[in-house]
Amino acid sequence: MEIRIGITNTGRELNFDTAESADEVRAQVAAALEQKATHVNFADVKGNSYIVPTANLAYIELGTEESRRVGFVA
């Protein structure tokens, strides 16, 4: 699933693919915000880790979980 994170005062957004479901990511972010955590951690499919400060979150866009199709549709 693709995740796009907007960070305040930054011209670019953080964009990566993760193996987690949309519900897992949503629950992780909600828990971090409710507990007033200083940051939230994400991991992509390549094993990279991302630490994002919760105070600077502008938005989080969760993509679809279906895989991309290859070929033509008749």
Under the banding of pLDDT at 50, 70 and 90, the label for residue 73 is low
Judge whether 29 and 42 are in contact, CB under 8 Å: no
Q: Which amino acid is at 23?
A: D
Tokens 């866009």 map to which residue? 61
| Both tokens assigned to 68 | 């991309």
Tokens of 65: 């979980």
pTM of the model: 0.76
* pLDDT at residue 54, rounded to an integer: 92
User: How far is Cα 43 from Cα 16, in angstroms, rounded to an integer?
Assistant: 9
What tokens does 19 get? 């193996």
DSSP type of residue 23: H
pLDDT attached to residue 69: 62
- Listed by start position, the domains of the chain span 2-62
